[in-house]
Structure 1
Amino acid sequence: MLFSSSGYETLIGRNAKRMMAHLSIPADEALQSTLSFFEKMEARHGGLSMLAHGDVSFPYLIESFPMLLRCSEENHLKPLIDFLKHIGIPKPRIPSVLLAFPPIMLSDVEKDIKRRIHAWEKAGIEQEYIGRMLLKYPWILSASVIENYKQALLFFNRRKISSAFLGTAVKSWPHILGCSTTRMNSILVLFDDLGISKKMVVPVLTSSPQLLLRKANEFLQVVSFFEDMGFDKKAVGKIVCRSPEIFASDVENTLKKKIDFLIDFGISERHLPRIIKKYPELLLLDINRTLLPRMNYFLGKGLSKKDVCSMISRFSPLLGYSIEHVLKPKLDFLLQTMKKPLKAVVEYPRYFSYSLEGRIKPRFWIIKSRNIDCSLTDMLAKNNELFAEEYLGIET
């Protein structure tokens, strides 16, 4: 039951490590016993990555929870398995839950587990989400974790920050439930230092609740990364509000790699602050799956690296557009129907930001019907009133 091959062995160990890493609240007896079990596993070769391998972990499991040997499979374990399946845990994933929090196997389904599930329902978490949360974070059945959620709600209410987002946040990132209000407060203090208003805290944390799990020094490393590029605190705060997920990223393995890639491609370092300010989300884009294919697409169309670098420097959101659904159809229309030279998009890369059906085509047909030759900028940059006044003779 616990150690049958399910294909999730690596995931089980990885999640156990993550749960330990993000726990910053006092542990109750059940949680303390689990941590002791994990520490014994960590001390041996292979560590928690061997958690799902029975030949390695079973002796430590029994040493930490000897009462498991007295559990009846028919009268105790089978009802537990049936209940876990009932609340949405797929059978192959049940070992993920039991090994991450073995005290569940010693708990009475009716008296203990259902009562704690009900506590989450009472807190406003729908049962369909409780099963998903339990799969990601089995410690939601810990009394300490349930109590910490209540304290977190009070904490945000005292700070006059709507705590409603917390219910949404823990559904996607239940590891937050093991995060102390002291650690949460350290992140809010940093937000305040960057000029992020209380009003903006809610959308930021709703979008990226994992920021609450960051240690202050980890968050500050990302702040320093931007400051080293020339951004002041106010500008960094704006980036947090626009793309908070960046601040949950690793500086060395993610952010600096993107910058190095852009520089190696040929982007001037002095243009980087403008590029990032315009489109900070590019720091989250995968180099091989997103950035490089878009660059290669333009190179394949006959543009030089210098041209592509110029386009990125002028309009960096270009790097996030779909080749198939945005870049290709718009470039095809430009070259085949509008008969514009390829260099036109180098001069005005923002062309790709306009709707093909809603703006580019209608305006082109108007320009063409009047036999007017104009640049992409003149054709697209004007608002509807100015365009109508200049090209249709309609005064507004």
Structure 2
Amino acid sequence: MFSQFFQLSPTSPQNLFFNPLFLPHYPLFFHKIPFKSHPFLLPKPKPLLHFHPLLATPPSNPAPLPNDQSWQTHEAQEAISEFLQGFGVSQADSDSISSNSPRYLKMLVDGVRDLDELSLWGSCGAEGKDFAVAGDAVVGFKKKVLYMAKEKGDNGKVAFLESVGLSLSAAMNVARYLSAESLPALVHKVKCLKELLFSGNNDGGRIGKNARRMMMYLSIPIDEELQQTLSFFEKIQARRGGLDMLGSNDASFRYLIESFPRLLLLSVESHMKPMVEFLENIGVPRGRLLNLILLFPPIIFYNIELIKLRVLAFKEVAVVDKDMGKLLLKYPWILSTSIRENYKEVLYFFNLEKVPILSVHRAIKSWPHILGCSTSKLKLMVEHFDELGVRNKKLGQVIAKSPQLLLRKPQELLQVNLNCLYTSIII
């Protein structure tokens, strides 16, 4: 069915199709696009030894470089570097990328060797036929690797993405999504993102702890933004190290790009920098911006006016801007549509229960996970409080002091001495 778009022979080494018809419309986390490859040129992933200076650790599941013939490795690295420089990337960056993309390099080297051994250069277009006619004595290995890199069709993006930590398969998928971006622009954006968001120290295990709590207490229907966030958490939790890996700048950068490649389509000057400045103005320190983004990645795609509008909904909870900044550092997901809608439901519910609104706001500010709890679940807990003699104003004082009690299981309330708690509040 694709014959109307592509005219390729069965043995052609062209194995990446960068056509707008095949690009996803949203982060590739929801789009599993297979990588089509020449039958003789399938990549054989193994562990990685080197890594790009932008990252502190190499990507997972590394494999050694093809060093059985070191001269071929050296020639291939030079070929890749020259190939990248042809797109306007500096020599220093090109050398770094070629030295830190071993799976990509191995894929090209293996492809050249396979075509040499099987004498298939004649089926690889005009230039390939020239290689077949000239023979190994005339055509250098480096020139063949350069030809193979050109035939991949990704214009060097796969090599660059692998060099900053992505696996080869993830790099191929993301490269498809970024096909309209030039390689120098992509290199510049990654450097700017690292400087803006990944230059500080995040809260390590605290991010993972807050993510787990959000997943545990959420009991309402969720919108697309929260679904993306939960899928992001679940994907990381399934890997070695789990959600604690969010505390690693290197790993979290890799996970963000893999799940939200649209991040690399944002303008640094007109979008990223103004957003960072705005968040700083409402109390989010630049060195901790990453915490906020990792706990609710869709916020990075918001424009400033949208953030202002959504923040305004919680003006009673966060009396001043700086309070809102502190709140967003741990609970940025409260800006999602489903949470804001549930906020109205929660206020209405406690109003029916004659709980003072000030007590409700204090409880939410202290424990925003209440906003992810369904009113049906809250009603069940309030009924158990009522059976224990805690209601109305007294209930307001209790939840303002210990709001997490609302999210416990009913039987756990029996383990809490509410009278002592209430007495301590009065005193």
- TM-score normalised over the length of structure 1: 0.54
1:84 aligns with 2:265: no
The Cα of 1:182 is off from its aligned counterpart by 2.0
Q: 1:121 aligns with which of 302, 315, 320?
A: 315
- Provide the residue aligned with 1:393 in structure 2: none
- Provide the residue aligned with 1:135 in structure 2: 329
1:9 aligns with 2:204: yes
Gaps of 5+ in 2: 1-195
- Percent of pairs with identical residues: 50
The Cα of 1:204 is off from its aligned counterpart by 0.8
- Provide the residue aligned with 2:263 in structure 1: 68
1:181 aligns with 2:375: yes
Q: 2:391 aligns with which of 181, 186, 197?
A: 197
SS in structure 1 of the partner of residue 313 of structure 2: helix
Counterpart residue type for residue 174 of structure 1: P
Q: 2:400 aligns with which of 206, 219, 229?
A: 206
Q: Is the 8 A contact 2:316 2:361 kept in 1?
A: no
1:45 aligns with 2:240: yes
Residue 237 to residue 108, structure 1, CA distance change in 2 (3 Å): closer
After the TM superposition, which of the residue ranges 38-47 and 133-142 deviates more from structure 2? 133-142
Q: Is the 8 A contact 1:9 1:52 kept in 2?
A: yes
Q: Is the 8 A contact 2:205 2:244 kept in 1?
A: yes
Instruction: Spell out, residue by residue over 1:141-184, the C-alpha distance to the aligned partner (whole angstroms, 9 max, x if none).
Output: 11111111111110011122223311122222222222221222
Instruction: Spell out, residue by residue over 1:272-311, the C-alpha distance to the aligned partner (whole angstroms, 9 max, x if none).
Output: xxxxxxxxx9xxxxxxxxxxxxxxxxxxxxxxxxxxxxxx
The separation in 1 between residues aligned to 2:401 and 2:279, in whole angstroms, is: 29
Q: Is the 8 A contact 2:237 2:243 kept in 1?
A: yes
Higher relative contact order (CA 8 A, sep 6+): 2
Counterpart residue type for residue 349 of structure 2: F
- Provide the residue aligned with 1:239 in structure 2: 420
Counting matched residue pairs gives: 231
Residue 136 to residue 55, structure 1, CA distance change in 2 (3 Å): closer
Q: Is the 8 A contact 2:355 2:392 kept in 1?
A: yes
CA-atom RMSD, angstroms?
Answer: 2.3
1:57 aligns with 2:268: no
The Cα of 1:130 is off from its aligned counterpart by 1.4
Counterpart residue type for residue 308 of structure 2: K
- Provide the residue aligned with 1:93 in structure 2: 288
The Cα of 1:127 is off from its aligned counterpart by 2.7
Instruction: Spell out, residue by residue over 1:43-77, the C-alpha distance to the aligned partner (whole angstroms, 9 max, x if none).
Output: 11111100132443334323332211201222211
Instruction: Spell out, residue by residue over 1:164-221, the C-alpha distance to the aligned partner (whole angstroms, 9 max, x if none).
Output: 311122222222222221222222111112122323111111111121222324434x
Question: Which structure dedicates a bigger proportion of its chain to helix?
Answer: 1
The Cα of 1:114 is off from its aligned counterpart by 1.2
The separation in 2 between residues aligned to 1:89 and 1:62, in whole angstroms, is: 22
In the TM superposition, 1:359-374 aligns within 5 A as none
SS in structure 2 of the partner of residue 51 of structure 1: helix
Counterpart residue type for residue 190 of structure 1: H
The separation in 2 between residues aligned to 1:185 and 1:238, in whole angstroms, is: 21
Residue 132 to residue 54, structure 1, CA distance change in 2 (3 Å): closer
Q: Is the 8 A contact 1:101 1:138 kept in 2?
A: yes
Residue 183 to residue 42, structure 1, CA distance change in 2 (3 Å): same
The Cα of 1:125 is off from its aligned counterpart by 4.2
The separation in 1 between residues aligned to 2:273 and 2:399, in whole angstroms, is: 39
1:24 aligns with 2:219: yes
Counterpart residue type for residue 88 of structure 1: G
The separation in 1 between residues aligned to 2:350 and 2:339, in whole angstroms, is: 17
- TM-score normalised over the length of structure 2: 0.50
- Provide the residue aligned with 1:364 in structure 2: none
Counterpart residue type for residue 64 of structure 1: S
Counterpart residue type for residue 204 of structure 2: E
